[in-house]
Structure 1
């Protein structure tokens, strides 16, 4: 068992081992004195002395302890107790607080850099929203090109100033209003159809215009001794008109060019039609025939559903007959179908196609199908 320390011996009231050596020295001193004639004293038991002192401390009221003789010194503690000043204690606590605050701040910064890394700014976004250029005024370009095409392809050698005035309204200031015409012949423009606008650099564009022209008089001068050449009928031709945007307006940028017009259109795709309902078609065939008869006669109110509005056809159109009626397969109170109809107009017969919408109308004692709407074509 290890020896008890000074604090434990002090709490238990036990003497310091060094006292034993001093007591042995005193005993030897007394024995020497006895040998010289002194009266011997009985040796004191240190454990009994310590027990008596501890019992006296517990039972006696706290009174100032009498001073011990110089020969019986109190064992000294192994450390020195120094009273701590309040200022030094505050400084030590404040320093510890500052240190821990700094440690916590560094820990938070490290966690933020890991969990929320700093975003690198996007150069595109930092530059702000992109400035988009305004759209090219295609409607104005088509209008200017159409006016120019009508004036450019119309001429009359009897009144050349009329063509020059019409061209000057759409040409840049100071441009030649003759525009390549030699001042001879006569030609009329019957129709104008503006088409595609193809954009180019420096605010330029090319506008396609289809023009229906009709030459007046012979196309070529007759040769001596030959009859005059026949006049060509009206025909469509294409005109590519260059335009440019300047000063907030669109003007013609230069001479145009005549181009050909396709003789045929592209090949149409094969479209799948709706599945037919033969029974429903037979059931509603008479309803459809009555509608087209009234449609041409100018009275549609009696053959259309309540609330439907179908304007009658103009005068001069009469019904030859409903060639076919095919109802689409379906259910419910609203059905559709396709009708092929032949009309008499302008001294000729013309076959056309219609999409017819039917709705079921019920009354107190019966129900019937009536036309709700009609549209030309198959779409």
Structure 2
């Protein structure tokens, strides 16, 4: 077998077998994964020749273990993806099931909690509208029936009974009407409850009101009289453990304080404030008569909340007097008690 030398590169010389098929020789010279130049015996030993070590290229393929970690990394990513899909697939139906039972859950296709019942209904406007209606509806006189009919027309739907259920006889007049509450069923319909006072009784009136998208209002049906609110019975309460010594101590102090409170003298009232904040008085709308009672529960030596019953004579009352009860938060600084806050009492009392 004849041999010839190829172009030399450095100290090594490539050897070409002229009897090999031309295509194979060409492939060996251009394939970057082909066999490197060197001793053919080294190739047969797996490439453990000069500069080689471990696994090397064999027959045009990379057969070493250097790329195995890519395989394991790919498998780990694949299993992680499968695990995420499984978890989400189990969780999603559970979340939809619990959301249907939760009244505050996000509605389907929404981005926030479910709206409250009656959300969007113009509550304040409907209350004022029903109040004006009731002042016409609850006042009638057979001598002025046409005037009542004309006034009602503003509140009633087209085609409604002009007198809205009144038979045109008799006379009725209410002294006052107030809104007691608005029960909105949805964004368009609500029942406005009113309290009305006649000469000798209370009335409770339920007025159905409809609101359209433009904010226009109409009485949608005939009103209904309901029983007036019943009188509640106070629970048995009151201060069981009273600090009588403190009550006696505070009696003259509060007498002086309420004298200035009646006049509204800011310079004088500022001396009674524990914080230096302004205490607004009654600006001579009343005349102080006396502190009738002080009730102080036992507690902290330097801070106490007490109630005081004060007798006022109204400036416009023609000599009439009123007993009124106040709640005072008191703070002791040194030997002097000062007022931190004054307001109406919240404690039940039958006296």
TM-score interval for Structure 1 and Structure 2 normalised by the shorter chain:
0.5 to 0.7
Aligned partners of 2:309 and 2:235: how far apart in 1?
21
Q: Does 1:374 align with 2:342?
A: yes
1:307 paired residue number: 277
2:325 paired residue number: 353
1:255 paired residue number: 222
**Closer, same or farther: CA 103–281 of 1 in aligned 2, 3 Å:** closer
For the residue of structure 1 that corresponds to 2:327, the secondary structure is strand
Contact 1:300/1:312 (CA < 8 Å) preserved in 2?
no
Aligned partners of 2:224 and 2:333: how far apart in 1?
60
1:93 paired residue number: 62
User: What's the CA shift for 1:257?
Assistant: 1.8
Unpaired stretches in structure 2, ≥5 consecutive residues:
1-39, 48-55, 97-105
User: Which among 258, 268, 272 is matched to residue 292 of structure 1?
Assistant: 258
User: What's the CA shift for 1:287?
Assistant: 0.6
Unpaired stretches in structure 1, ≥5 consecutive residues:
1-79, 214-232
User: What's the CA shift for 1:182?
Assistant: 3.4
Q: Does 1:129 align with 2:110?
A: yes
Q: Does 1:190 align with 2:170?
A: no
Q: Does 1:147 align with 2:98?
A: no
**1:322-369 CA distance string (max 9 Å, x none):** 22112343446543311122334435443221112334467xxxx633
For the residue of structure 2 that corresponds to 1:291, the secondary structure is helix
User: Which among 211, 230, 243 is matched to residue 209 of structure 2?
Assistant: 243
Contact 1:164/1:178 (CA < 8 Å) preserved in 2?
yes
Contact 1:291/1:371 (CA < 8 Å) preserved in 2?
no
Aligned partners of 2:279 and 2:57: how far apart in 1?
102
1:343 paired residue number: 312
1:148-297 matches, within 5 Å, as 148-200=133-185, 203-213=188-198, 233-248=199-214, 249-262=216-229, 264-271=230-237, 273=239, 275-297=241-263
Aligned partners of 1:156 and 1:341: how far apart in 2?
45
**Closer, same or farther: CA 104–175 of 1 in aligned 2, 3 Å:** same
Aligned partners of 1:288 and 1:103: how far apart in 2?
86
Aligned partners of 1:327 and 1:175: how far apart in 2?
61
What TM-score results when the alignment is normalised by the length of structure 2? Answer: 0.63
**Closer, same or farther: CA 106–313 of 1 in aligned 2, 3 Å:** same
What TM-score results when the alignment is normalised by the length of structure 1? Answer: 0.59
Contact 2:312/2:322 (CA < 8 Å) preserved in 1?
yes
Q: RMSD across aligned C-alpha pairs, in angstroms?
A: 3.8
Aligned partners of 2:69 and 2:339: how far apart in 1?
89
**1:151-210 CA distance string (max 9 Å, x none):** 101224444344234322222244333212334444333211212333447943222111
**Closer, same or farther: CA 292–274 of 1 in aligned 2, 3 Å:** farther
Q: Does 1:326 align with 2:311?
A: no
2:33 paired residue number: none
Contact 1:287/1:370 (CA < 8 Å) preserved in 2?
no
User: What's the CA shift for 1:112?
Assistant: 5.4
